[in-house]
Amino acid sequence: MEREKSKQLYLSGHIPDAAFMSLDAALFPSQYERFALYPPDIFEKYIQMIGVNEGEHIILYARGALGGMVFSSRIAWLLKACALISNTSYGHDPEKVSLLDGGLASWMRQGLELSTDDVQLPVGDPGNWKAHDKLSEYNIKFEEMEDKDGDKMYLERTDEVGWKVSGLVNFLDARHRGQFNGTEDTGLDPYRVGGSNIPGFKNAPAAELVNDNGQLKSKDEIRQWLYANGYKSDKPVVTLCNTGMQASMLAQIISYAVPEISPRVYNASFAPIALKETLPSFSKYSLVLQFLQELLVEVG
C-alpha cells in the first residue's frame, strides 16, 4: 500500500488509540526486494518514533484482503519469533507481539468504535525500544540460498533433486497456486525466466489459511494443511514468495499453529534466483483488547 493512501485510509477510521505505521517507512525498496530490511539501528529509530517502549505489548492489525494479515504479519515477523525462542528478529519479547485476527474488518463486524484521530505517540520524547541483530536467525539471504554443500546449493536440498534425506529442507512457496503453476502472472520476465516455480519447492499458499470471514483457520486445520502440502517434520523450513509479504504471513501462522517449527523467511523476490544460470529452470490469534501497558498499531 502506498504510504499516502494507507495514511488516508487510517484517518478515515481506525481502532481508537491505534498509532499508524507505514510499511514504506519501516522497510525500503532495493534492487531485488520491494520491502528490504533496514539495519537494526535504523529500524529501531522508526519504532521509537512511533512511540514503542521496551516491555510493551504490541498489537498489530491492518485492513484489506486476508483480514489485513499480509501487512501486519510482515511487521510482526520482524518483531516476533517462535514461542520457544527468547529473542526475535529485532529483539522484542515474542510473548508481547500479537496480530488482531481478522484485522480491522473483524473489529467493524462486531460494531466496535472507530476513531478518525491522528494518534501521535509519544507526545514528548520518543519510545525507548531497542533492537538487537537477530535477523539471520529468522530470515535467509540469497547468498545463503546459493551456498554449496558439495555440488548442490542450499536451495537444491529437496527430495525432487535427490538430496540426502538427512539434509532436506522444507521450501514452502507461499504464493497463490495459479502463480506457482503458471496459470496466473508470476511477476517474472517470461523472456528471461522459464517456468513458474523452483523444482522441489512445495506450494503452500498463505491465503488458504484464512477463512471466508478473514480470520485464521484452527490450529488443527493449519497443521493438517501443512502436512497435506508436503511438509516433512523435523526438517528446516524456509518460506518465500515474490516480496516476502505472503512468506512472512505463512511463517507467522506456522509459528503460531506449530510452535516447535522455527521458519525462516526469504525476503527477496524470485528474480535473483530465477536468473541464476546455474539453476534448473523455474518449473486463531485471540482478539486481544488489553490496552493497559499495550500499544495498538495499524499497519498500512
> What pLDDT shows up at residue 25?
85
At a CB cut-off of 8 Å and minimum separation 6, what does 171 contact? 155, 158, 198, 200, 201, 202, 238, 240
Query: Is residue 47 a part of any domain in this protein?
Result: yes
Count of structural domains, the chain = 2
Q: Is 82 a catalytic residue?
A: no
pLDDT, mean of residues 125-152: 81
> Computed over its alpha carbons, how large is the radius of gyration of the chain?
19
Residue 182 belongs to domain spanning: 138-285
Based on the fold, state whether residues 127 and 152 are members of the same structural domain. no
> What pLDDT shows up at residue 229?
96
Catalytic position from the list 21, 66, 78, 241: 241
Query: Is residue 291 a part of any domain in this protein?
Result: no
Alpha-carbon span 216 to 98, nearest angstrom:
13
| pLDDT tens per residue across span 239-279 | 999 888 899 999 999 988 998 888 999 987 666 665 554 44
| pLDDT tens per residue across span 8-33 | 999 999 999 998 988 888 888 877 67
Alpha-carbon span 295 to 112, nearest angstrom:
18
Query: Is residue 294 a part of any domain in this protein?
Result: no
Based on the fold, state whether residues 172 and 107 are members of the same structural domain. no
Q: What is the DSSP letter of 198?
A: -
